[in-house]
Amino acid sequence: MKWFVSALALTLTGCASVAELEQSPETLDVMSGKSPEQYLACVQDRLKDSRDPLQVTREKNSIRVIVPQKLADAPAAVMDISERSSGSSIKLHERLNNFPLRLSDVNNAATRCISG
């Protein structure tokens, strides 16, 4: 039993790199009527109380957001926000994306910021 608990703890706190997260299936792939900057501001506002500051990288027509894990330095999620003619396209890759008991604050923030 101790072995199972140790393995579960290691699985839940294990490290994942940004490259590994990008290879995982997307947990969210949507379009928003908001500009990438407006969408980013919304996500930052919703995650400010539950996560450390987000790492934001801006390029010409896109923004990459790396969301840190709560208890480790590794990334918990990677969000790519690309500019479109009428808003933005959002792709979210989360660590443990197929684990039903994962924290949902990142996905909830990303979903709630799509509109409104």
Kindly give the residue spans of alpha helices, DSSP state H, lying in the chain.
2-13, 18-23, 36-47, 105-112
Residue 35 lies in a domain: yes
Whether 10 is covered by a domain: the verdict is no
pTM, two decimals, is: 0.79
Q: Flag whether 5 is in a domain.
A: no
**Is the per-residue pLDDT at 41 higher than 50?**
yes
Is the CB of residue 94 less than 8 Å from the CB of residue 105? no
State how far the Cα of 3 lies from the Cα of 21, in Å rounded to an integer. 27
Residue 57: give its domain's CATH number: 3.30.160
Element (H, E) at 65: strand 62-68
Residue 105 within a domain: yes
pLDDT tens by residue, 67-114: 998 877 788 899 999 999 889 999 999 876 555 556 688 889 999 999
Residue 103 lies in a domain: yes
Looking at the domain assignment, is residue 20 inside a domain?
yes
Structural domain of 108: 16-112
- In whole angstroms, what is the distance from residue 42 CA to residue 21 CA? 22
Task: Assess if residue 2 is contained within a domain.
Answer: no
- Number of domains making up the chain: 1
DSSP 97: T
Task: State yes or no: pLDDT of 7 exceeds 50.
Answer: no
